[in-house]
Amino acid sequence: MMRRFLALLQARNMEFLRDKSSLGWNVAFPILLVFGLAAIFSGDSRPMFRVSVLTTPAELAKKTDSGPGEHRFLQDPFIQFTEVSDQQLAIGDVRLHKSDLLFDPTSNHYWINLSSEKGHHLEAILLGASSTSPQRLEVSGDPVRLIDWLMPGILGMNMMFSCLFGVGYIVVRYRKSGFLKRLNATPTRAVEFLAAQILSRLLLIMALTVAVFIGTNLFLGFRMEGSYWLLFVTACLGAMALISMGLVVSARVSSEELAGGLLNFVTWPMMVLSDVWFSMEGSHPVMVAISKALPLTHLMQASRAIMLDGAGLAEIMPNLIVLATMTLVFLGLGSWWFRWQGD
């Protein structure tokens, strides 16, 4: 019995070691993940306070220095200052606790949210740094709960795994088992097979996502400032882009181990860079640029804008255009690369 066990053990070990793609992925992936996380969180620590500084568009266009102004309060190195030109939008950020305080150095006014603890401390700093007392204007609004911010990320992550592995891995398994070879002997065309896979996965993932959203919303009462229909359309476009990406990965691969590695190579960057668990705001510019090239990033940004900010179609149209473009590009590549049998 021991000899049989050792023979099976050796056979499985040699099978893994001889699969160069799987072996290489198991070595390369943790290295890439460590260096990727190091690059994302490199640099200076993020400031504790965030202040919006009201500036007219003309002044903002002529601005050449890196600082927001000459007021003593604006020189504090431990406060993150952001220049804004839209007063109503900036006040809305204070109301939603996205900004801790809004300051207009020209008119010497500032807006503070009465329920913001950080705003209370910033007010004391502002008054201490001002030679004349600025005028206080109050706004009210509840902060966005952590679960309200995380919920789109959790559902988006679930959609990502279901779309990529539910299509990519299954197509590879079909190819490896010979099912695609037999299907190729029928009048079925590749475009018909791919279209059926896409529509099937889209219907399933949207039904499950809607059911999970409704069920959890009954107990937690998620913040919803925008349109449910617009959120549904956004989710459909995001799912289409992710499904199409899965088809590109599975177009020719016939090894389940390699398919799993490639799919992980696609999913983990989106897990880290696509605002699923934390915002990329303030990260290294290179990492932010990479995140913009991922479909899940645009799905997250559009979904949170609808739910938390009440954004309409015009506000999220850039994200929808990117998702639609990615869908068409991935579908084109997947159809062009697709083979009934592996290389």
pLDDT at 203: 86
Distances (CA, A) of 147 to 23, 168, 203: 39, 31, 26
Q: Taking the domains of the chain in order of start, what are their residue ranges?
A: 49-139, 146-337
Distances (CA, A) of 37 to 46, 183, 294, 334: 16, 43, 17, 30
Q: Which string of b and e fits 100-129 if b means at least 16 CB within 10 Å? A: bbbbbbeeeebbbbeebebbeebbebbeee
Q: Which amino acid is at 343?
A: D
SS3 state of residue 83: strand
pLDDT at 70: 67
Share in percent of the chain as helix, strand, coil (round to 5): 65, 10, 25
Which residue ranges in the chain fall short of pLDDT 70? 1-47, 56-70, 141-144, 281-283, 342-343
Rounded-to-integer distance, Cα 105 and Cα 132, Å: 11
**Sheet-wide strand order for 49-54:** 79-84, 49-54, 101-104, 109-113, 135-139
Q: pLDDT for 214-230, tens place per residue?
A: 888 888 788 888 889 99
Q: Using H for helix, E for strand and C for coil, what is the string for the chain?
A: CHHHHHHHHHHHHHHHHHCHHHHHHHHHHHHHHHHHHHHHCCCCCCCCEEEEEECCHHHHHHCCCCCCCCCHHHHCCCEEEEEECCHHHHHHHHHCCCCCEEEECCCCEEEEECCCHHHHHHHHHHHHHCCCCCEEEEECCCCCCHHHHHHHHHHHHHHHHHHHHHHHHHHHHHHHHCHHHHHHCCCCCHHHHHHHHHHHHHHHHHHHHHHHHHHHHHHHCCCCCCCHHHHHHHHHHHHHHHHHHHHHHCCCCCCHHHHHHHHHHHHHHHHHHCCCCCCCCCCCHHHHHHHHCCHHHHHHHHHHHHHHHCCCHHHHHHHHHHHHHHHHHHHHHHHHHCCCCCC
Rounded-to-integer distance, Cα 106 and Cα 93, Å: 20
Q: What residues pair up with 113 in beta bridges, in sequence order?
A: 139
pLDDT at 298: 92
Q: What phi, psi does 174 have (nearest 5°)?
A: -60, -45
| Residue 9 CB neighbours (<10 A) | 10
Burial of 180 (0-12, 13-18, 19+ CB in 10 A): buried
Rounded-to-integer distance, Cα 26 and Cα 40, Å: 22
